[in-house]
Homo-oligomer: A and B are copies of this chain.
Amino acid sequence: MLLLSLIIAEAALETVPKQIAKHPSVVKHAARKGKPAEEILLDRSYHHSAMLKLENAERRGRPDLAHFALLEATSTPLYRNNMLNVYVHTVANKVILLGENVRLPKSYFRFEGLMEDLFKDRKITADNNMLMELKDMKFQDLVDKLKPRKVVGLSRAGARSSAEKVAKMIDDDTAIVVGGFPRGHFSNAISGKINYTYSISELALESHLVIARILYECEKLRLFV
């Protein structure tokens, strides 16, 4: 039985860091949501001016990207047939472990609430089933825990190939890594743990599209859908 893992790496998904929690744009937004500033998601759409002070700011505050990437992965027949494990590694070195057959909300408003609950409570359950868990974990810790036979990264910086060809090289126990950040390449901490890196298009594709294509090609080889 195939068991693939998908890791969305360095995802721009985190709660507001302490350092900017008192910035007026953050305080105002948190008040409107009725939550403490450090419990809301960092979001460039609302906190742009506050984020100017943050290190590495251009790769942070895009929870919408993680939302799309996660929905893309969890709506595939591969995931729904329990043939795919999905992980989100975040820019702040946390890892979200997703349970089996989780149906994530497509409404961003609901997704945001769910993520805020997860960052606060570290665990979301429903009827005693684990839906999501949050761990303090670096990318390398996650790879060491999963022990995949190989780790395949998809990035514009990789060797030119196609989703179809890459899928043919992916056998059981492979971890596929796709970036969850708005621009740039994997940082060294990530690329150091990747065995092969491929680029599946001449254009810079959005992460969600890369996920859609590689999982679809993996599925075509295995599920005969």
Complexed CA–CA distance, A107 and B64 (Å): 6
Do A77 and B203 touch (CB < 8 A)?
Answer: yes
From A17-25, A188-196, A205-213, the one touching the partner chain is A205-213
Complexed CA–CA distance, A6 and B164 (Å): 24
A135 at interface, CB cutoff 8 A: no
Find A109's partner among B72, B108, B110 (CB 8 Å cutoff).
B108
The minimal Cβ–Cβ distance linking A209 to chain B, given in whole angstroms, is: 5
Residues of B close to A201: CB separation below 8 A? 77, 225
Complexed CA–CA distance, A162 and B224 (Å): 9
Do B65 and A106 touch (CB < 8 A)?
Answer: yes
A149 at interface, CB cutoff 8 A: no
Do B77 and A45 touch (CB < 8 A)?
Answer: no
Closest to A44 in B: B107
